[in-house]
Structure 1
Amino acid sequence: MSPEDAVRAVAARAREASHELATATRATKDAALHAMADALLAAGPDVLAANAEDVARAEADGTPANIVDRLRLDDARLAAMAQGLRDVAGLPDPVGEVVRGSTLAKGLELRQVRVPFGVVAMIYEARPNVTADAAGICLKAGNAVLLRGSSSARSSNAALVAAMRGALAATGLPEDVVQLVPGETRESVTALMRARGLVDVLIPRGGAGLIASVVEGSTVPVIETGVGNCHVYVDASADLDQALAIVLNAKTQRTSVCNAAESLLVHRDVAREFVPRVVTALQDAGVLVHGDEEFASRDGVVPATDEDHAAEFLALEISAAVVDDVEAAIAHVRRFSSGHTEAIVARDQATIRRFVAAVDAAAVVVNASTRFTDGGEFGFGAEIGISTQKLHARGPMGLPEMTSTKYVVVGDGHVR
């Protein structure tokens, strides 16, 4: 069987399974989610052994440490994945929710209700936690899911999906609502991207290269998740102790994620005091600072290029610049932002309002770390990804974002 035929075969099975899932009750779906969580924990030794194979292979191939960190599982991360499934089970079921409704002039009753997409496909790199997150959110929203992880996580993903499929069978839902896409070559990815009619929505999650490739080459509708060149702007009115804590958390709490800060902007009026403090604190945490002239005057800071200011480092590195005012900060963000998350630390309310209104991003954060742009932190449960596009969904995508809508029109013999 060719790679294209193999992909279309699993997509066809997903399509068939999606019909049964679309009408499943919340009780059935929640029971399946709890069973999947139990199965992950029960299969823990097998999952962690498979993951160790992936990690060893990645390290032998010279994979950067930040990517290995995304790939690595341990007992705590596995437990968090299982808890994520339970958290999703505890959320309201979006299917059937009435978005709006009215009685039309001629007496017809009109309702717009949420319905599943049908079949959702995920193409993603490393991060085996995405395997469980995507399966759980798609199932709760009534969608079958096709998972095409990277070859670097193939053993981990196979073990995770095997555990979850076994749990589905035990609860009476078709196993094929969760499937791995066969194949490890580019051909299988291309086949998935062109399975229009079998796959309703495709979501890429990974680096800029992967996302661009899927967006540009897919005939299946794509929800674009974006890279995160996230800025923190420290205004002249900021509480500098608070600003220091926010910058350190946003940059160093976990570097390999898209909501980590990659760029720092400091108002000129507080630069003399704040730049030495923040550089020392960042360097003490192991961060390499790529700075403009004022930052680069500090020992250990390297001169920043435009490429640095535009970079998503996903590592202990950050670009930094001094700006004249909030307008200069906004201009810098507009030039280099990826539209993910932008933060301001300030006490002046007019400045805050101006920044929030003028900055175009999926999330704007005031006096808090960029690390809060996350489905779990927002109370959505485990997220499917963070969309930086403007059609259908933007920001962390939880259960409602994994649905479409249809109109239900009820009459009593009405004719036009």
Structure 2
Amino acid sequence: MAVVTLKVPDPLGQPEPASVEAVMERARAAQKAFANVDQETADAAVRALAWSLYNPDHARELAELAVQDTGLGNVADKIRKKQRKTFGTLRDLLRSPSVGVIERDEAKGLVKYAKPMGVIGAVTPSTNPGATPVNKAMMAVKGRNAIVIAPSPLGYRTTARIVDLMRAELAQIGLPEDLVQILPSPVTKESTEALMKACDLVVVTGSQDNVRRAYSSGTPAIGVGAGNVPVIIDETADLDAAAERIRDSKIFDNSTSCSSENAVVIVDAVYDAALAALERAGAYLCTPPERERVIGRLWVKGKLSRDLIARDAAVLAEAFELPPQARDRRFFLVEETGVGKGYPLSGEKLALVLTVYRASDFAAAKERVREILEHQGKGHSCGLHTTDMDRARELAEDLDVVRVLVNFAHTFGNGGGFNSGLGFTLSMGCGSWQKNSISENLSYRNMLNITHLVTAIPEDKPSEEELFGPHWKRIGHQEGAR
């Protein structure tokens, strides 16, 4: 594609915005210039944003910066996450129309046209200060929107750097840099709320306080819920395969993902064998005294310790005073019997600690998962390791979750995967169960307005008998009595 330069008037005459109002004015000017581009140009913008992070040098730089600034996760997995999520999201976006006619239904006489929303306000978390801003920016620009990012203060430097890189890539192909901006530092609750009120759609990933603020801002909002993923291992499962999937998912980026397993519920018939499989996969099973140290040190005054969440396994082993044989383990198993406020292990941990429950059979395991989700994470997701698909369908029918994953490393399937039909995203909607407005993975479609062209079709009007007949039979209604 030839480079097309879109000229944007400078409404302020200054190179660096210094307020929410200034940022919004620049965003609106850039979006206005971009609003009527063709699909090829919109996709070129998406590719440019994707390359800003997928570029191996940038992925490494930003992963190192994120770990240095936040202390969360590890560099190798953050590089993998940035490239995998960006590549998968780009795949999804390039396969989808977002300009002009995006859908036709001849039978209903409907043609759907995509229109931009305007300026998207995106609140992003410290756990993914590089990947989430790019993921949301790609989706926003796919729909010919501009985006302004309000990052977590802890991850500000990382987010500011990726915003600079995104802007440079846009400029290189002649598109407005101000399609992507960041709130001026320091980001405060006040400046974030001002952005929420000024933009056309708010998309929030991160703290539930920010989600609630978004929904009360008066602006249309999409917030996502907290995770606390429980998975079941039943007696039909391939135990070693299940253990390896759970390990791969649990240890990824030191459990920073909301899709990371937080509890495994094992049916009694294979309990000991499943624990052995998890130990072969790299787990260490804590003794009862060690369990008490895990609880006492991972939670301080009822809150997760900032010094231990998302840390390497060796750091945790030392902090928990585990024996030498635990020092080279990948993650830690802690048995539990209760669920609720008095049982902190039943909640999300953001750490390489996996809670283990024993259930008498599959029915009991399902009810334990329900209890865990009712306590925390309802609506988000759960998993099952099995060869019995009837059980998977039973979970999907009976549990209040948006996603039920079968035989997956949960982190790699829940937010989209190359062997998962779910769309790539870093923001998982949890439905009304967590007071979210979407019960799906966030996508560019959530950032479009749709115009419906309606033309006449042959009349589709059933008879009264077709519609009311079953009810008339129930109540003894006589045709002639009408």
Normalised to the residue count of structure 2, the TM-score between the two structures is: 0.69
Corresponding position of 1:163: 165
Check the 8 A contact 1:231/1:343 in 2, yes or no: yes
Compute the displacement of 1:148 (Å).
0.9
Q: What CA distance in whole angstroms lies between the structure 1 residues aligned with 2:386 and 2:183?
A: 47
**Aligned equivalents of 2:82, 2:239: Cα separation in 1:** 37
Equivalent residues of 2:193, 2:213 under 8 A apart: no
State the SS of the aligned residue for 1:223: strand
Q: How far apart, in 2, do the equivalents of 1:112 and 1:261 lie?
A: 40
**Equivalent residue runs for 1:145-294 within 5 Å:** 145-184=147-186, 185-195=188-198, 199-215=199-215, 217-254=216-253, 255-278=255-278, 281=281, 282-283=283-284, 285-292=329-336
In structure 2, the residue corresponding to 1:231 is in which secondary structure?
Answer: strand
Max Rg structure: 2
Show structure 2 runs of 5+ residues with no match.
1-17, 285-325, 457-482
Work out whether residues 123 and 147 of structure 1, in 8 Å CA contact, stay in contact via their aligned partners in 2.
Answer: yes
Cα contact 2:171–2:177 (8 A) shared by 1: yes
Q: Which runs of no fewer than 5 residues in structure 1 stay unpaired? A: 295-302, 412-416
| C-alpha distance in 1 between matches for 2:448 and 2:67 | 35
Deviates more, 1:338-347 or 1:233-242: 233-242
Percent identical among aligned pairs is: 24
Matched residue type, 2:133 = T
The 1:158/1:203 distance shift into structure 2, 3 A limit, reads same
**1-structure distance, mates of 2:84, 2:123:** 22
Task: Determine helix, strand or coil for the equivalent of 1:270.
Answer: helix
Aligned residues: 384
Q: How far apart in 2 are the matches of 1:167 and 1:238?
A: 47
Question: In 1, are the aligned partners of 2:383 and 2:410 still within 8 Å (CA)?
Answer: yes
Partner residue, 1:299: none
> How far did residue 260 of structure 1 move?
1.0
Contact 2:122 2:150 in 1 (8 A): yes
Q: Does 1:388 align with 2:430?
A: yes
Q: Please state how far the C-alpha of 1:271 moved relative to its aligned partner.
A: 2.0
Equivalent of 1:404, from 432, 436, 449?
A: 449
Match of 1:141 among 136, 140, 143: 143
CA gap of 1:399–1:103, structure 2 versus 1, over 3 A, is same
Conservation of the 8 A alpha-carbon contact between 1:361 and 1:388:
yes
Alignment of 1:17-416 (within 5 A): 17-37=30-50, 44=57, 55-58=67-70, 63=71, 67-69=72-74, 83=87, 87=91, 90-99=94-103, 101=105, 109-126=109-126, 127=128, 128-184=130-186, 185-195=188-198, 199-215=199-215, 217-254=216-253, 255-278=255-278, 281=281, 282-283=283-284, 285-292=329-336, 306-337=342-373, 338=377, 339-371=379-411, 372-377=413-418, 378=420, 382-390=424-432, 393-409=438-454
| Partner of residue 300, structure 1 | none
C-alpha spacing 1:268/1:305, structure 2 compared with 1 (3 Å) = farther
Deviation at 1:147, TM superposition (A): 0.7
Q: What CA deviation, in whole Å up to 9, does each residue of 1:119-147 have, x standing for no partner?
A: 21111122212222222121112221111
Counterpart of 2:463 in structure 1 is none
Q: Deviations over 1:301-353 (max 9, x none)?
A: xx997543542212101122112233322222222221222111122343232
Q: What is the CA deviation profile of residues 380-405 of structure 1, one whole-angstrom value per residue up to 9, with x for unaligned ones? A: 77525111125663232233333232
Compared with structure 1, are the counterparts of its residues 239 and 10 closer, same or farther at alpha carbon in structure 2 (3 Å cutoff)? same
- Give the stretch that moved more between structures: 401-410 or 364-373: 401-410
Tell me the equivalent position of 2:28: 15
Using a 3 Å threshold, how does the CA distance of structure 1 residues 290 and 207 change in structure 2: closer, same or farther? farther
Aligned AA for 1:138?
Answer: A
CA contact (8 A) 1:346 1:367 kept: yes
Q: AA paired with 1:402?
A: M
Conservation of the 8 A alpha-carbon contact between 1:211 and 1:224: yes
Deviation at 1:99, TM superposition (A): 4.5
For 1:157, the aligned partner's letter is T
Paired residue secondary structure (1:218): coil
Q: CA deviation at 1:212?
A: 4.5
